[in-house]
Structure 1
């Protein structure tokens, strides 16, 4: 096959001589080649293009198209080749792969999803999703990521699990951070939100329905396997994981405590919300100040039904009773009300204690299940009592100069 330069040279020689043999002598080729190129040009075809030859896969294309359509473009070429071989196909696997690739490309072109820009309004939509957080002391954590669709304001809250009480606490805190609640909350079909589907219609978890009624919001879910429906928060999760989870790409050190992770989340929020967004060309925190007026007020008290059993912390000791055992809480909660619940089953079962303060409900303590008479104590909850007091062991305290001299 002649390249483009040779083809132009041959055709120009023919235009000059108007003779097939004369052009062949000038161009240094066969007069048959000159005739073929001239016929192609006169027929309106591209001179020099190769002729289409029949392929061994041509007679099998209807069957390949049928399998690609039935599998929604997921069937592999090696599977197609095995099926065709069993039906009498004699071509090579390379030919099969080429044919399957062409059929899949045509199928995707006909099924391509067209994305229309989403025109949002202030105070209407909040999306949330989760990402895998870093491991702290061998325990996995979760990153709760929320995104206001109009202002692009991002919220990242570190959680210890994805149970309904933890998610509800994160949402309550989220509403208080942005100064109100939106009209709609969009998320995935997790069991904390959707328990099943009937004829494609989601059946809501009643705990989520009670939570939504308390705050006056409507919780909606995406279609299964349709992450593009909430692409804004999906990108926010990727960004948060890339910055907060220690990796070789960000050179972030491992977290020594959960409080350190919470501080990192707060720093990340301050960073991303104070810089210009590439779409709006405005800072999300400035846009949030405008969007807050469109959010509706939330109750002063948090929705605590799912947080567990209410307990009053005594005025003189930061210990609460739960199922005949005692558990410690931070000392600053003396006299406050906390909520206690079980989390998990078996040997990994934990007792989680939450407190609903002015900034929303937060987890304040987590203990292994204790037995009656053997309280679960965290030394950090007892400032000034870093060591256990031993009965009969006294620290000498001189009361006079003579006693001081004696000591």
Structure 2
């Protein structure tokens, strides 16, 4: 190939009328060369020969190279080492050149049109593992992220695990944070959501469909080796890692969640180049198009249905956890909350206990407050118990007298235990139990307690010694404790 200077000279001489023979003689090139470049429209250009085409020694390893580079994310040097172990004969430079050619061929397949969704139409969901310092140790966590595709408004939440329960909880918390639900949710084909990822026999996880059906959201999965279809949720993880995870230290998991929420709020107020505004500002337009949230959270935890033992303990996840004594021998719901604590619910869905999950299994975790209502109170005089009962339940003199008739020998015991129930149940609930006792003419502590455990939820308040009379003023208590003479009829009426 001739140089640019020679080509220019050929053009200039020929335009001046110099013959091809004379041009070739002056420039010391052949006449055919002169004719070749006079017939070409443009200047001479260097064209590299296809030295590494089908003749490359790496051509026979193309499938393995693509698998290692795209799926296993190996760099060129690692691919070279792995293939050498398998008997490949090519050079390192030859592999790099061949890999470059593969990547150039792949560019055409990656060129695509930018895709945008309408407001409220789609959200994208994904998670990523990280190792962070929590307290005095390093722990592995998973950060879930849901981003609304239109506004780029996002929500992060962390968990110690990535179980299906934690996935459901992360999505639910995001929906509550948004104040509504999108029409579609785009995600990977992870086992928590997909039972069979093969496109020919693709099948969603039944419970996951039930979960999204509860919220009225259509599930979508992106294509294999097409991560750009959910690229909006990929970029926030890079920002999270560089601006929150790296160098972050947290006192405990609650501190991590709190700081992550603060980071999320600030990130949503940061200008986004893709939409040329802040996600928070654009979310104001999108939230009007979100679907309505159900009143309650999704509950489908048949595998987490547990019976409480008579020692007020239940087994879950290899450990035993205490619950308030009122739920002994009852069935309750149990779930793991983001992998770091256990939440226990009554049959009506009210939370009755929470425990941190220990790192070592086989532990028994007990809260003393769950047993305090079982303590036997110091004996006190019958007049004091009568006065306290009528103060708590004015107008229930009939119940008091019939209890005294039916339980002559143990009147004081039953009355004291009924009064003690007000420490863990609402006063109006205990009153309803007394009404039921009057209706069925049954007067004892056991019936009142059974009615409450079957129909009411515990409202625990820490018990303090002497709290049965904590509302009485000091003068009243002194007057009751002083030496007094009573008619023996008081005791005869109760069999005491």
Secondary structure in structure 2 of the residue aligned to 1:127: strand
Match of 1:286 in 2: 281
Match of 1:40 in 2: 36
Larger radius of gyration: 2
How far apart, CA to CA, are the structure 2 residues paired with 1:41 and 1:154? 61
Structure 2, unaligned stretches of length 5 or more?
70-75, 324-330, 369-461, 463-496
Structure 1 pair 43/68, CA: closer, same or farther in 2 (3 Å)? farther
Structure 1 pair 194/338, CA: closer, same or farther in 2 (3 Å)? same
Structure 1 pair 353/287, CA: closer, same or farther in 2 (3 Å)? same
Whether contact under 8 Å (1:14, 1:22) holds in the other structure is: no
Match of 2:121 in 1: 124
Structure 1, unaligned stretches of length 5 or more?
86-91, 247-251, 313-318, 330-336, 344-348, 379-384, 386-407
Match of 1:299 in 2: 294
Measure how far apart 1:197 and its partner are: 3.6
Whether contact under 8 Å (1:129, 1:237) holds in the other structure is: no
Higher relative contact order (CA 8 A, sep 6+): 1
The one of 251, 258, 263 equivalent to 2:258 is: 263
Is 1:365–2:359 an aligned residue pair? no
Secondary structure in structure 1 of the residue aligned to 2:292: coil
How far apart, CA to CA, are the structure 2 residues paired with 1:210 and 1:58? 53
CA RMSD, Structure 1 to Structure 2 (Å): 4.7
Larger CA deviation: 5-14 vs 148-157: 5-14
Structure 1 pair 68/36, CA: closer, same or farther in 2 (3 Å)? farther
Secondary structure in structure 1 of the residue aligned to 2:343: strand
How far apart, CA to CA, are the structure 1 residues paired with 2:187 and 2:169? 16
How far apart, CA to CA, are the structure 1 residues paired with 2:53 and 2:270? 56
How far apart, CA to CA, are the structure 2 residues paired with 1:95 and 1:254? 44
> TM (normalized to structure 2)?
0.55
Alignment of 1:5-404 (within 5 A): 5-9=5-9, 11-12=11-12, 16=16, 18=18, 31-33=27-29, 35=31, 37-44=33-40, 60=55, 68=62, 100=98, 104=102, 107-108=105-106, 111-135=108-132, 136=134, 137-197=137-197, 200-246=200-246, 252-306=247-301, 308-309=304-305, 321-323=313-315, 326-327=320-321, 339-341=333-335, 352-353=342-343, 365-367=356-358, 368-371=360-363, 374-375=364-365
Whether contact under 8 Å (1:7, 1:37) holds in the other structure is: no
Whether contact under 8 Å (1:353, 1:366) holds in the other structure is: no
Structure 1 pair 74/125, CA: closer, same or farther in 2 (3 Å)? same
How far apart, CA to CA, are the structure 2 residues paired with 1:244 and 1:238? 10
Structure 1 pair 66/7, CA: closer, same or farther in 2 (3 Å)? same
Secondary structure in structure 1 of the residue aligned to 2:229: helix
How far apart, CA to CA, are the structure 2 residues paired with 1:124 and 1:145? 17
Whether contact under 8 Å (2:192, 2:208) holds in the other structure is: yes
Larger CA deviation: 228-237 vs 16-25: 16-25
Larger CA deviation: 119-128 vs 168-177: 119-128
Measure how far apart 1:101 and its partner are: 6.0
Q: When you count helix as a share of all residues, which structure comes out higher? A: 2
